[in-house]
Amino acid sequence: MSTEFLTLEEAAERLGVHYMTAYRYVRQGKLSATRVKGVWQVTPQAIDEFRQRANERKERPRTGDDSRRTGDYVNELHTCLVNADAGGAWGVLQRAIDAGGEIGDVYLAILAPAMARIGEEWSRGEIDIAIEHQATAIATRLVGQMSPRFVRRGRRRGEVLIGGPSGERHALALAMLGDLLRLEGYDVFDLGADTPANSFVHAASKINNLTAVGVSVTTTESVEGAIDVVRTLRRAIGDEVPVVLGGSAISGPEHAREIGADFYANGARGFVELLDSITRGSSTVDDEMARETDSKSKAAKTTRKKTPSEAGGSGAQSRRQSDADASNN
């Protein structure tokens, strides 16, 4: 029986990571490989085992020490943000990264919960809006510093356009969402907040293989703007490209459908799962979502109008929200 071996470059390609990342996995003992005459050899089985362990890590509930630790980071970051201590805030994130946490969790389990707490304190009248603005300015700089770490080389999984409609001012959420999609190998075009409907069309028409358009709706004030974006996009580019709504002002799939969108995605990770199912079909998506994926690929050929029941795949999304995302919304 002959055993197929992959070079480390090929293994990196399969894992969708840079060669040096794959090399680090080998050095850390996370990816099994043997060195023969100076050349690393990796078996397909080792790749499968690596992926399986990575999935298990993702699914493992955050309990015990892990969650206590994450909670500490949130507390420390919150203190730095409300005290306008930008250096301290960066230090907290740096420590979380050095401790070997998943880079996506630095956003979803640390930065987003710290911001959510600031939002709650503002809404209860405990802190002045000036503190919230100052904290947001620092958080925006932190995201700018973190952003290059979310760039992934290797196979591209699709192109995604995201933005907030007119009246929507929550640009920070979009910046974080964009990075989280990049981390998964998507090319992201982020229009930022308060984008007129026609500008969504302009940007969409310039992207060759657009996988989906994501519209962020964080406050009820921007729901009208979202309706306008969906309507204008449909008129201009038909229904070939799925329009996905997300953000805390969208209550779920029904709400997204009322606005005219194809899907609702729950948080960044829900969006990634949905995009994955749109781009390649996935064994993890349930039947409902798989049907929707099928109808989407057909729609690309026939550009027929979708019925509301076909858009029901979004219901599946809401059941797959990660714990981390739950704390954001």
Chain residues in the site for ligand B12 (CB under 6 A): 108, 112, 115-116, 118-120, 123, 132-133, 136, 167-173, 176-177, 214-216, 218-222, 244-249, 265, 267-268, 271, 325, 328-329
In the bound complex, what is the minimum distance in angstroms from residue 143's beta carbon to ligand B12? 9
Kindly tell me which of 21 and 219 has the beta carbon lying closer to ligand B12.
Answer: 219
In the bound complex, what is the minimum distance in angstroms from residue 96's beta carbon to ligand B12? 16
In the bound complex, what is the minimum distance in angstroms from residue 290's beta carbon to ligand B12? 19
Kindly tell me which of 6 and 172 has the beta carbon lying closer to ligand B12.
Answer: 172
Give 48's contacts (C-beta < 8 A, 6+ positions apart). none
313: closest CA among 297, 289, 329? Answer: 289
**Angle CA(71)–CA(75)–CA(79) in degrees, nearest 5?**
170
Residue nearest to ligand B12 (CB): 246
Kindly tell me which of 10 and 102 has the beta carbon lying closer to ligand B12.
Answer: 102
In the bound complex, what is the minimum distance in angstroms from residue 245's beta carbon to ligand B12? 6
- Rounded Cα–Cα distance for residues 169 and 295 (Å): 34
Kindly tell me which of 21 and 329 has the beta carbon lying closer to ligand B12.
Answer: 329
In the bound complex, what is the minimum distance in angstroms from residue 116's beta carbon to ligand B12? 4
Kindly tell me which of 74 and 244 has the beta carbon lying closer to ligand B12.
Answer: 244
Kindly tell me which of 76 and 132 has the beta carbon lying closer to ligand B12.
Answer: 132
Three-state helix/strand/coil letters over 110-155? HHHHHHHHHHHHHHCCCCCHHHHHHHHHHHHHHHHHHHHHHCCCCC
In the bound complex, what is the minimum distance in angstroms from residue 141's beta carbon to ligand B12? 11
